A and B are shown apart, each in its own frame.
Chain A
């Protein structure tokens, strides 16, 4: 058996160093877009500090910005974050120690930190997870603050084409998710449901209804 040197928090930070730059860029976009959605400068920073989940934050803010209800915004965020339930279960055996420590470290789980800490065979390295998660968290919060506070100077985000950053971002997030035929079917059906319901229902509802597309998994599993 090959001996591997024990991996450290710093190895986790190093594993996502380049990604952290992109995440900070996401944070800047989130700060700008949240501001343009009428959230003010402080709420986006507080949200990124307390809710460390980019796509759910973007979804909630974009629904609010297009006149959706609080319930629709929260429900969409919850549905987008539902994947953190099975993801959390997958890392649970490798997060040891007292409950408060597991609780705190669980907050550092995002798609990217989870992905780099995977060792295959369902094993996860908790130090890599924490080192990567902390690095991405700091990048996310600082990026948000820069976007939120710099928004004043930059002016109208739509003139800068930032409204197109939303669909571009979600496109960039959905493509790596499509690793199987089932995922492709879910994505196509979800998009079709959302498009069909847009003229018929209040903003936000089409996105929540699209979650029904995951039921294609029932027949295939």
Chain B
């Protein structure tokens, strides 16, 4: 099996299992408050790491390139309460235009 299909299968099975755990097994019980307080923070920590690596990393190198212009444009669009679809279009367009010009 190729790397791609291995990832598709493994991520699929893992996601289905994670989503099903609560509704299928735990019934009405809720997480202990301490644990819930930690798990809550996984999403902001991981998403922020993804922003940083996708904007700045190229393999193991840290590179400042046209992507940064796109992310800055996305930041402005988000600040102006633009819908997500528009934010992505703005980021891609700003990056593409920067590559054309520079």
Let me know if A50 is at the binding interface, CB within 8 A. yes
Tell me the smallest distance from the CB of A90 to a CB of chain B, in Å: 7
CA distance A84 to B20 in the complex (A): 9
Q: Are A106 and B93 in contact (CB under 8 A)?
A: no
Interface flag for B14 (CB, 8 Å): yes
B88 touches A194 (CB 8 A): no
If the complex has contacts A168-B70, A191-B52, are A213 and B92 also in contact, measured as CB distance less than 8 A? no
| A86 adjacent to B36 (CB under 8 Å) | yes
Distance A172 CA – B57 CA, assembled complex (angstroms): 19
Residue of A nearest to B9 (CB): A50
Query: Cβ of B46 and Cβ of A85 under 8 Å apart?
Result: no
Tell whether, in the assembled complex, residue B23 and residue A92 are in contact, meaning their CB atoms are under 8 Å apart. Answer: yes
| A171 in complex: contacting residue of B49, B78, B94, CB < 8 Å | B78
Contact A70 B10 (CB under 8 A): yes
Select from chain A the residue with minimum beta-carbon distance to B22. A88
Which of chain A's residues has its CB closest to B60's CB?
Answer: A199
The interface residues of chain B, by DSSP majority, are classed as helix
Tell whether A115 is near chain B: CB-to-CB under 8 Å. Answer: no
Q: With the chains together, A89 CA to B29 CA distance in Å?
A: 7
The 10 closest A-B CB pairs, nearest first, are A88-B22, A164-B70, A190-B45, A161-B95, A168-B91, A210-B49, A161-B96, A194-B49, A221-B37, A168-B74
Q: A59-B46, A167-B70, A167-B74 are in contact. List 9 more A-B contacts (CB 8 A).
A: A74-B10, A81-B15, A83-B40, A86-B40, A102-B23, A103-B20, A161-B92, A195-B62, A212-B45
> Which residues of A are interface residues toward B (Cβ below 8 A)?
18, 21-22, 25-26, 29, 38-40, 43, 46-47, 50-53, 55-62, 64, 66-67, 70, 73-74, 76-93, 95, 99, 102-103, 105-107, 109, 158-175, 177-178, 182-184, 186-191, 193-195, 198-203, 206-207, 210-218, 220-221
Q: Which residues of B contact A (CB under 8 A)?
A: 3-8, 10-12, 14-16, 18-24, 26-31, 33-34, 36-62, 66-67, 69-71, 73-75, 78, 83-85, 87-88, 90-99
